[in-house]
């Protein structure tokens, strides 16, 4: 491994015994658990415009975020959205999404578990409450009926 860390692959020794390996095939996941933590998000393409606009309007080019871990949904953890990918790619469900990296406030993490799912919310600024409630309908009308 290029880093010193903890092997995250489940039962690695048993899994790797007699495993035929091809060139460039990943066989182990190793993480540096005592270093800084990040969350990788997949932002749906129909919401990335709001996020990039908020990043452009923010002089620090960072966006406050809040998320909960699927393994502990009772605790809200703060973070800062640092960057978003330049192009979309298919997420596991096949929908197009943009990868984004969130720097995590490690103080909020109790018993972190690499690979756990998260639900996140980013502060994209203020909008009228009516728009916030129905923005998905407005976006659908704009892209499918008025276009």
99 confidence band (pLDDT: 50, 70, 90): very high
pLDDT tens readout for residues 128-141? 777 777 877 887 88
Q: What is residue 92's predicted lDDT score, i.e. its pLDDT?
A: 81
Percentage of residues in the chain having pLDDT higher than 70: 98
Rounded Cα distance between 142 and 48, Å, is 16
Polymer length in residues for the chain: 147
Rounded Cα distance between 1 and 68, Å, is 30
The partner residues of 100 in beta bridges, in order of sequence, read 41, 84
* pLDDT over threshold 70, residue 112: yes
For the chain, the C-alpha Rg in angstroms (whole number) is: 19
Rounded Cα distance between 89 and 42, Å, is 9
pTM: 0.72
**Phi, psi for 134 (deg, rounded to 5):** -125, 20
Rounded Cα distance between 13 and 2, Å, is 19
Q: What is residue 147's predicted lDDT score, i.e. its pLDDT?
A: 63
pLDDT tens readout for residues 20-31? 888 887 888 888
């Amino acid at each position: 491994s290029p880093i010193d860390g903890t092997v995250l692959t489940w039962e690695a020794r048993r899994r790797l015994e007699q495993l035929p390996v091809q060139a460039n095939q990943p066989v182990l996941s190793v993480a540096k658990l005592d270093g800084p933590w990040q969350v990788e998000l997949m932002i749906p393409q129909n919401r990335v415009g709001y996020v990039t606009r908020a990043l452009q309007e923010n002089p620090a080019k960072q966006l406050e975020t809040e998320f909960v871990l699927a393994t502990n949904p009772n605790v809200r953890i703060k973070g800062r959205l640092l960057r978003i990918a330049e192009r979309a790619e298919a997420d596991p469900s096949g929908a197009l999404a943009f990868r984004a990296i969130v720097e995590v406030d490690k103080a909020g993490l109790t018993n972190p578990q690499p690979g756990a799912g998260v639900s996140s919310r980013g502060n994209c600024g203020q909008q009228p409450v009516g728009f916030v409630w129905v923005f998905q309908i407005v976006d659908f009308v704009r892209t499918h009926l008025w276009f």
